[in-house]
Every structure is written in C-alpha cells, then in structure tokens.
Structure 1
Amino acid sequence: MVARILDAGQRVLITHGYDGASTNRIAAAAEISPGSLYQYFPNKDAIVAAVIERYTRDVTDRVRARVLANFGKPPEVSVPETISYLMDALGNDRELLRAVVEQTPRLAADGPVAAFEQQIGELARVALSMRQYPIPAGVDTDAAAWMLVRTVEHLTIRYLLDGPPIPRERFLADLTRLILNYFREPPARAERE
C-alpha cells in the first residue's frame, strides 16, 4: 500500500506541483480513501518527503556504485564518467527531477534532498582523502568536497532541466576541466605579475 501511495504521490507531484498536491488528490490517484491514506502518512509533506527520499536513494545508490568503481582511475577519466553517470541517474525521470527541484520546498534542513547532498559529499570527501586527485597544499578537503558537490549537482540539474544548446560531451568536458582546475597549483606570485 505504501508503494501505491508513493507512486500516486509522485504522479500528483509531477502533474500538479507541490502547491497543487493534496492528500485528497493523492488518495484519489491511488484509488483509496483519504482515511486509508492517513493510516500510512499523516499529511502531504510526509508523502512528498517519502517520494523524494525514494528518488534520491535510487540516485545515490547508483552514483555511489560508480564512484567506488572509479577509484584508482585517473581523474581525467573518473570525473567525466562519474558526472555522466550522475546525469543518467538524475535524468532517468526528468519530470520528477523538475518537480523535486522546482516545485518542492526543502521540507526540512535534514530532509531527503539534504541527505542526498550529504551522501554524495561523503563520497567526494572519501575520494579526496584517498588522494585520487592531486590536492595542492592548503586545500581544505571538506570545503572542496562541499563546493564541488554543489557545483556539479547544480550544473548537472540545470543542464538536464534547461536543455541548453550544449552537446553532452562538451558539457562533460567543460565541467571536468572546471573540477580538475580546482586542484591545480596556482601560479607563483612572481609568475602572475
């Protein structure tokens, strides 16, 4: 029954957005009474949070597997492969991605989207701590992981949702260059002047 309610909640969220979703609409889409829905979920926010959690868990599991498979590969190979896989995982259901990103408020600071970002951030920190990437002296790996995860996440989501006239391979190459340049030693001061 929970899966049925979540499937209905997902359809309603995609069709009507967060503001247009209601427990009555979700119950109708699930072909159950509102009373039956309330046996499993106390309100709309709980259903939406569970829909987002299911989606982000699937994406996180898929991306985690790819990140782990890419350990040991040179960054020039592992970075674009991982981003490409993230694009595939996020883009698997673009309508739901759009609803989650554009229609759904961050239900809580510790909600499913924040949990997703935290899990991907942990993977990035592990990769950085294993020195898979050349890290210049003075780079804070926690700060680097936070910034890089949010940069990749935001640009990837906007690429998928906006559909800019940029070929996928160009997007991957440019985003890879952005990430790898983050870890390049800045030129010595005398060279810059």
Structure 2
Amino acid sequence: MDRYWEQVADRVVASLGDRLGEIGPARIRDVVDALVAALEADRALLRVIHEELPPRRLRHQRRALEQRVRELATAAMAVQVPEHERPGVAVKAWVVVLAIENLTMRWVLDEPDLERDRLLDEVTAMIAGYLPVSAV
C-alpha cells in the first residue's frame, strides 16, 4: 500500500512540480491526467484499497499524498496571485486537491459511461473556473 500511494504521489507531484509557475487550463489538465493515469495503473489494487480495507488503514497514506500535492498546488497558485490574495490560496488548494482526488478516484472505481477525455475536460473546466482569474 505504501509503495502504491508513493507511486501515485510521485506521478502527480512530477506533473505539478516540473513547471511550478505555470498554472492554467493545460497545466490543470496535465495534473488531472497524471492522477487518472496513476490510479488506472492498478485498478484492482485501488479497488481493494478503497473498498475492502478499513479506512483507518489508509488514512496516513492518503493524507501524506494529499499534503504533498496540496503544498505544491499552494506554491504554484501563490506565485500567480497578488500578495493580498495569498492567505486564501491554501484553502483553494485544499478544495482543488480534494475535488480532483475524489472525482478521479470515483471515475476509476465506478467506470461510468464517461470517456476519459471528457472527464479531463470537465474537471479542468471546473477547477479553472474556481481559481482566481489571475491564477489561471
């Protein structure tokens, strides 16, 4: 489990961290795509982890993943917004990270009648619409 969550985190962090100052729809889509790809890499294991194991067994790994990604998202957004908006960036990063995590995980687990590209488009539009104009 630790290795699985570490691999997921590494993929997402790599997609966010290599061009930290670039936040926009293409960048958001890249991050969402990286998370979907990481979660899709082993659907069966994700299903067991998410649906069969007690949630308390995953709490540490998920929080560590969320914190790594949230810290990078906060840093990326902070460089894009005016100084007076920076105190609110951590809250926005928390909302964005959890929204992306939950939507992508449900898509991978539920396998709805929704094409992958459409999911990426919808999540990108939602996140881009939520972020301040100066951060997109």
* TM-score where L is the length of structure 1: 0.61
CA contact (8 A) 2:96 2:127 kept: yes
Distance verdict in 2 for CA 1:136–1:90, change over 3 Å: farther
Q: Which runs of 5+ in 1 are unaligned?
A: 1-51, 186-193
Displacement of 1:89 in angstroms is 0.9
Tell me what 2:126 maps to.
178
1:156 aligns with 2:104: yes
Residues 151-175 of structure 1: per-residue CA shift (max 9 Å, x gap): 0000000011111111111111111
1:123 aligned residue: 72
Contact 2:29 2:124 in 1 (8 A): yes
User: Which protein has the bigger helix share?
Assistant: 2
Aligned residues: 133
Query: Which structure carries more relative contact order (alpha carbon 8 Å, separation 6+)?
Result: 2
Structure 2 distance, partners of 1:183, 1:69, is 20
Contact between 1:84 and 1:172, CA under 8 Å: does it hold in 2?
yes
For 1:103, the equivalent position in structure 2 comes to: 52
Shift, 1:53, TM fit: 1.4
Does 2:68 align with 1:114? Answer: no
Task: Please list the CA deviations of residues 75-131 of structure 1 after superposition, one character each: whole Å capped at 9, or x if unmatched.
Answer: 121010111011101110011111111122232686112211111111211111221
Amino-acid identity (%): 32
Give the whole-Å Cα distance in 2 for the aligned partners of 1:97 and 1:72.
Answer: 31
Distance 1:184 1:139 in 2: 13
Letter in 2 for 1:145: A
Separation of aligned partners in 2, 1:135 and 1:83: 27
Give the distance between the partners of 1:108 and 1:95, measured in 2 at CA: 17
Q: Is the 8 A contact 2:5 2:65 kept in 1?
A: yes
Partner of 1:53: 2
Question: Normalising to structure 2: TM-score of the pair?
Answer: 0.85
Amino acid corresponding to residue 123 of structure 2 in structure 1: L
Give the counterpart letter for 1:67 in structure 2.
L
Q: In structure 2, what is the Cα distance between the partners aligned to 1:163 and 1:135?
A: 41
